[in-house]
Amino acid sequence: MALFPPEKRLWWNEPLHRIEIVWITIAFLWGVAMFSIMVYWHFVGSQNLSNEAYRVDPQAYAKKAEVMTEKYKVREEGQTGIPVVHPPAGSDVYLIARLWEWWPILELEKDKSYRLHLSSMDWLHGFSLQPVNINIQVHPNYEMVLTVKPDRAGTYSIVCNEFCGIGHHTMLGRLYVVEK
Protein backbone atom coordinates (compact mmCIF):
# COMPACT_ATOMS: atom_id res chain seq x y z
CA MET A 1 0.00 0.00 0.00
CA ALA A 2 1.27 3.42 -0.90
CA LEU A 3 -0.77 5.38 1.63
CA PHE A 4 2.29 5.87 3.80
CA PRO A 5 5.88 6.46 2.76
CA PRO A 6 8.17 3.41 2.96
CA GLU A 7 9.73 2.93 6.40
CA LYS A 8 13.23 3.11 5.05
CA ARG A 9 13.16 6.61 3.56
CA LEU A 10 16.19 5.96 1.38
CA TRP A 11 14.47 3.07 -0.45
CA TRP A 12 15.70 4.38 -3.81
CA ASN A 13 19.27 4.17 -2.64
CA GLU A 14 19.18 0.36 -2.29
CA PRO A 15 21.52 -1.52 -4.64
CA LEU A 16 19.71 -2.84 -7.74
CA HIS A 17 18.93 -6.52 -7.91
CA ARG A 18 20.71 -8.27 -10.77
CA ILE A 19 17.43 -9.27 -12.46
CA GLU A 20 16.23 -5.70 -12.25
CA ILE A 21 19.29 -4.28 -13.97
CA VAL A 22 18.98 -6.96 -16.67
CA TRP A 23 15.39 -5.89 -17.43
CA ILE A 24 16.25 -2.20 -17.37
CA THR A 25 19.06 -2.87 -19.85
CA ILE A 26 16.79 -4.91 -22.15
CA ALA A 27 14.10 -2.21 -22.08
CA PHE A 28 16.64 0.53 -22.75
CA LEU A 29 18.24 -1.33 -25.68
CA TRP A 30 14.80 -2.09 -27.13
CA GLY A 31 13.93 1.62 -26.92
CA VAL A 32 17.16 2.51 -28.73
CA ALA A 33 16.43 -0.15 -31.39
CA MET A 34 12.92 1.14 -32.04
CA PHE A 35 14.15 4.72 -32.24
CA SER A 36 16.83 3.74 -34.75
CA ILE A 37 14.28 1.88 -36.87
CA MET A 38 12.25 5.10 -37.24
CA VAL A 39 15.27 6.87 -38.69
CA TYR A 40 16.26 3.86 -40.82
CA TRP A 41 12.73 3.46 -42.20
CA HIS A 42 12.53 7.09 -43.18
CA PHE A 43 15.28 6.41 -45.73
CA VAL A 44 14.58 2.80 -46.66
CA GLY A 45 10.82 2.35 -46.25
CA SER A 46 9.87 4.19 -49.47
CA GLN A 47 6.59 5.12 -47.81
CA ASN A 48 7.25 8.74 -47.09
CA LEU A 49 5.26 10.82 -49.51
CA SER A 50 7.12 13.73 -50.92
CA ASN A 51 4.73 16.54 -50.16
CA GLU A 52 4.22 20.25 -50.22
CA ALA A 53 1.88 22.32 -48.13
CA TYR A 54 0.51 25.81 -48.55
CA ARG A 55 -1.78 28.00 -46.51
CA VAL A 56 -5.08 28.35 -48.29
CA ASP A 57 -8.48 29.86 -47.68
CA PRO A 58 -11.09 27.05 -47.70
CA GLN A 59 -13.36 28.99 -50.06
CA ALA A 60 -10.53 29.64 -52.50
CA TYR A 61 -9.63 25.95 -52.39
CA ALA A 62 -13.24 24.88 -52.97
CA LYS A 63 -13.34 27.17 -55.98
CA LYS A 64 -10.37 25.35 -57.58
CA ALA A 65 -12.00 21.97 -56.98
CA GLU A 66 -15.29 23.20 -58.43
CA VAL A 67 -13.65 24.61 -61.55
CA MET A 68 -11.85 21.30 -62.15
CA THR A 69 -15.04 19.31 -61.52
CA GLU A 70 -17.10 21.50 -63.83
CA LYS A 71 -14.53 21.07 -66.60
CA TYR A 72 -13.79 17.36 -66.43
CA LYS A 73 -16.93 15.73 -65.02
CA VAL A 74 -17.70 12.52 -66.92
CA ARG A 75 -20.67 11.11 -65.00
CA GLU A 76 -22.32 10.88 -61.62
CA GLU A 77 -21.75 8.11 -59.14
CA GLY A 78 -24.89 5.96 -59.01
CA GLN A 79 -27.70 7.64 -57.10
CA THR A 80 -25.40 9.75 -54.95
CA GLY A 81 -25.17 12.73 -57.28
CA ILE A 82 -21.44 12.95 -56.56
CA PRO A 83 -19.59 13.85 -59.76
CA VAL A 84 -16.94 11.54 -61.15
CA VAL A 85 -14.14 13.62 -62.63
CA HIS A 86 -11.56 12.49 -65.17
CA PRO A 87 -8.91 15.21 -65.31
CA PRO A 88 -6.14 15.04 -67.93
CA ALA A 89 -3.06 12.99 -67.10
CA GLY A 90 -0.31 15.02 -65.48
CA SER A 91 -2.63 17.73 -64.21
CA ASP A 92 -3.40 19.15 -60.81
CA VAL A 93 -6.34 17.35 -59.23
CA TYR A 94 -8.30 18.55 -56.19
CA LEU A 95 -10.07 16.62 -53.50
CA ILE A 96 -12.22 18.28 -50.85
CA ALA A 97 -12.69 16.79 -47.39
CA ARG A 98 -15.70 18.06 -45.47
CA LEU A 99 -18.35 16.93 -43.00
CA TRP A 100 -18.88 14.14 -44.04
CA GLU A 101 -17.78 13.40 -47.53
CA TRP A 102 -14.92 13.37 -50.01
CA TRP A 103 -15.73 15.43 -53.08
CA PRO A 104 -15.57 14.79 -56.00
CA ILE A 105 -14.71 11.24 -57.08
CA LEU A 106 -11.49 11.27 -59.06
CA GLU A 107 -10.81 8.96 -61.95
CA LEU A 108 -7.10 8.76 -62.72
CA GLU A 109 -5.19 6.91 -65.39
CA LYS A 110 -2.80 4.12 -64.56
CA ASP A 111 0.93 4.92 -64.80
CA LYS A 112 0.27 8.64 -65.20
CA SER A 113 1.48 11.11 -62.68
CA TYR A 114 -0.77 13.71 -61.01
CA ARG A 115 -0.43 16.43 -58.43
CA LEU A 116 -3.08 15.52 -55.90
CA HIS A 117 -4.23 18.43 -53.73
CA LEU A 118 -6.00 17.82 -50.43
CA SER A 119 -7.66 20.24 -48.07
CA SER A 120 -10.49 20.36 -45.57
CA MET A 121 -13.41 22.77 -45.55
CA ASP A 122 -14.02 22.49 -41.82
CA TRP A 123 -12.31 20.17 -39.36
CA LEU A 124 -9.35 17.87 -39.35
CA HIS A 125 -9.93 14.79 -41.51
CA GLY A 126 -7.70 11.88 -42.44
CA PHE A 127 -7.14 10.67 -45.99
CA SER A 128 -6.64 6.92 -45.89
CA LEU A 129 -6.49 5.22 -49.28
CA GLN A 130 -7.47 1.57 -49.10
CA PRO A 131 -6.41 -1.14 -49.67
CA VAL A 132 -2.98 0.39 -50.39
CA ASN A 133 -2.89 2.07 -46.99
CA ILE A 134 -1.63 5.54 -47.84
CA ASN A 135 -2.43 7.87 -44.96
CA ILE A 136 -2.22 11.62 -44.69
CA GLN A 137 -3.82 14.22 -42.46
CA VAL A 138 -6.10 16.74 -44.16
CA HIS A 139 -6.18 20.09 -42.41
CA PRO A 140 -8.44 23.09 -42.87
CA ASN A 141 -6.56 26.17 -44.14
CA TYR A 142 -3.75 24.05 -45.52
CA GLU A 143 -3.43 22.61 -48.98
CA MET A 144 -1.32 19.46 -49.15
CA VAL A 145 0.12 18.46 -52.51
CA LEU A 146 1.23 14.91 -53.24
CA THR A 147 2.71 13.69 -56.46
CA VAL A 148 1.03 10.37 -57.17
CA LYS A 149 1.44 7.83 -59.93
CA PRO A 150 -1.08 5.01 -59.56
CA ASP A 151 0.44 1.72 -60.69
CA ARG A 152 -2.59 -0.55 -60.36
CA ALA A 153 -5.99 -0.11 -61.95
CA GLY A 154 -9.01 -0.57 -59.75
CA THR A 155 -11.50 0.95 -57.38
CA TYR A 156 -10.03 2.39 -54.22
CA SER A 157 -11.79 3.51 -51.08
CA ILE A 158 -10.99 6.67 -49.20
CA VAL A 159 -11.69 6.30 -45.50
CA CYS A 160 -11.56 9.17 -43.04
CA ASN A 161 -9.19 8.12 -40.29
CA GLU A 162 -9.34 11.16 -38.03
CA PHE A 163 -12.37 11.32 -35.76
CA CYS A 164 -14.45 14.23 -37.08
CA GLY A 165 -17.73 14.01 -35.22
CA ILE A 166 -21.01 12.18 -35.39
CA GLY A 167 -20.79 11.28 -39.10
CA HIS A 168 -17.13 10.27 -39.08
CA HIS A 169 -17.85 6.61 -39.82
CA THR A 170 -19.89 7.56 -42.89
CA MET A 171 -17.15 9.65 -44.43
CA LEU A 172 -16.21 7.32 -47.25
CA GLY A 173 -15.04 8.26 -50.69
CA ARG A 174 -13.89 6.57 -53.82
CA LEU A 175 -11.09 6.86 -56.32
CA TYR A 176 -10.90 5.10 -59.66
CA VAL A 177 -7.74 4.15 -61.48
CA VAL A 178 -8.40 3.14 -65.07
CA GLU A 179 -6.29 1.73 -67.90
CA LYS A 180 -6.14 4.11 -70.80
Q: What residues make contact with ligand CUA under the rule CB under 6 A?
A: 100, 125, 160, 162-164, 168, 171
Task: Output the CA torsion 52→53→59→63 (10° steps).
Answer: -10
Tell the burial category of 69 from Cβ atoms under 10 Å away from its Cβ (0-12, 13-18, 19+): buried
Contact yes or no for 174/158 (Cβ under 8 A): yes
Nearer to ligand CUA, 124 or 153 (CB): 124
Nearer to ligand CUA, 101 or 109 (CB): 101
**3 state SS of 133:** coil
H helices of the chain, where?
18-44, 58-72
Nearer to ligand CUA, 129 or 171 (CB): 171
Closest separation in Å from C-beta 13 to ligand CUA: 51
Closest separation in Å from C-beta 14 to ligand CUA: 51
Closest separation in Å from C-beta 59 to ligand CUA: 19
| Encoded amino acid at 166, one letter | I
**3 state SS of 12:** helix
Nearer to ligand CUA, 144 or 164 (CB): 164
Closest separation in Å from C-beta 142 to ligand CUA: 15
